[in-house]
Amino acid sequence: MSLFRFSSTALDTAALRAELTDPGCGAYAAFEGWVRDNNDGQRVTRLEYEAYAPLAAREGERIIAEAVSRFGLRGALCVHRIGALPLGEIAVWVGASAPHRDEAFRACRYIIDEVKHRLPIWKKEYYEGGDSGWVNCERCAAAVVHAGADAAPSAAPETHGHGHAHGPRR
Amino acid sequence: MSAPLYGLLLTGGRSRRMQRDKLTLEYGGQPQLARAMALLEPLVERSFISVRADQRDDPQRSAFPCITDVLPEIGPIGGIHAALCTHPETAWLVLAGDLPFLNTATLQQLIAARAPHRLATAFRSRHDGKPEPLCAIFEPASLSPIEAWIAAGQRCPRDFLAHSDVELLTLRDARALDNVNTAAEYLQARGEFAERSAGAGNSAGRTAAGVKRRLNIQYFALLREQAGRSQESVTSEAVDARALYAELSAARGLKLQPEQLRVAINEAFADWSQVLSEGDTVVFLPPVAGG
């Protein structure tokens, strides 16, 4: 089974964790990204994720392989939700197992950061009052139009903790 | 039961004699890196390229899953070692990056003759009769002897196989493993590919301006909404992705600027200047927001 997956249903974290158990490991760390009820001062009521799945799956596998090689992991797994998500649900899950804790912690951080920046996945937020918007897209468009040539899009306030991944970052 | 088979293309060589990255050399209009991966991918469960740490940001290499050398500066055996370390329960079909004549039939011969109970399966060199290490299958059990070999100060993968329990095969296509080390050898090999593709009626896939190509476009997220569709088939004279986006943004009212987008062609990240070919699937990627 591939180490990066998409799921259109709620995640079973116990089952995911069980895939990483390994008697040679002294450490396991996991990261859960949750659907939050606010962003950028607006009340969020739900989210929708969309992905270019074949490319995202391949790039996701690549990120896991990088983490395994970089941190000497014994196991790693990442699952990203797709489709409509209510508040509070897990949007993305990362788990890593390693002989020692430092590698497991750092690998989780590496995987989630790279997933956010590199995978062709898009998030639409639906707000109280009926508005909606694609995260990063509207803001980038606004930054380009209003800020002038010398302001990088990343100068926009990063209230949601998402990088801007449209430039070749690697 | 034999271990699953993954593929590994070695790209960490310094190409000192060529004085140019051998993986970017083109044959029949396609760089060797893409040619070799296209050969490998259908034959193995997963495929990777082996890179030095300082090559990880190279745009051609980073389009593929990479495995970085664990032990630097020890040559191809370091790439094989890193792959076995990364996936220790997997056998690896290892390929050098400078084999332009390699073909599917030769790889199929190797895979069909694979002997999982031995350390490796390899062809006998037609030059010196020794095992050819850089078009060979390394079984998981080869990891610890390779580590011991490296620890003993040895580097040569050919000598390693010559001293190991290896299934040796006779190459059916004698030229398949001829490699290209110098500029003169490259020019000769490239000339042969040009003749072949001319004989085959320009099958190389590269096309020029003024030629209409049928392309598949997929739209996602904000661009899908702006285009009012998730995909379409277009006929275009656009030579590259940049020209294609200019056409489509005018025709479909796409409001994002190219600077805000990335391009994927045939399910791989691509440059805006990549030349388009008949039947390509092109996707313009709006700013992403996973997680």
- Residues of chain B whose C-beta is under 8 A from some C-beta in A? 46, 48, 56-57, 59, 62, 64-68, 70, 82, 85-86, 218, 220-222, 224, 255-257, 259-262, 264, 267-269, 283, 285-291
Tally Cβ neighbours within 10 Å of residue B235: 8
Q: Which of A152-156, B59-63, B70-74, B119-123 is predicted least confidently?
A: A152-156
Q: Which of A89-98, A148-157, B6-15, B254-263 is predicted least confidently?
A: A148-157
pLDDT of residue B24: 86
A166·B257 Cβ contact <8 A: no
Question: Nearest residue on chain A to B55, judged by CA atoms?
Answer: A170
pLDDT single digits (tens) B246-275 = 999 999 999 999 999 999 999 999 999 888
pLDDT band at B210 (very low <50, low <70, confident <90, very high): low
pLDDT band at A166 (very low <50, low <70, confident <90, very high): very low
Question: What is the arithmetic mean of pLDDT over B183-203?
Answer: 67
Residue with more model confidence, A147 or A6: A6
A124·B288 Cβ contact <8 A: no
SS3 of B242-259: the string is: HHHHHHHHHHHCCCCCHH
ipTM of the modeled complex: 0.82
Which of A74, A109, A166 is the best residue to mutate to test the B interface, defined by the most B CB atoms within 10 Å of its own CB? A166
B66·A62 Cβ contact <8 A: yes
Alpha helices per DSSP H over B10-166: 32-40, 59-62, 76-86, 104-112, 143-151, 157-162
| Cα of A114 to nearest chain B Cα, Å | 10
| Cα of B157 to nearest chain A Cα, Å | 22
Cα separation values, B5 from A149, B51, B236, Å: 50, 19, 40
> Looking at the complex, does the CB of residue A39 fall below 8 Å from at least one CB of chain B?
no
pLDDT band at A138 (very low <50, low <70, confident <90, very high): low
pLDDT band at B195 (very low <50, low <70, confident <90, very high): low
Instruction: Name the residue among A54, A80, A166 with its Cβ closest to that of B262.
Output: A166
pTM of the entire predicted model: 0.53
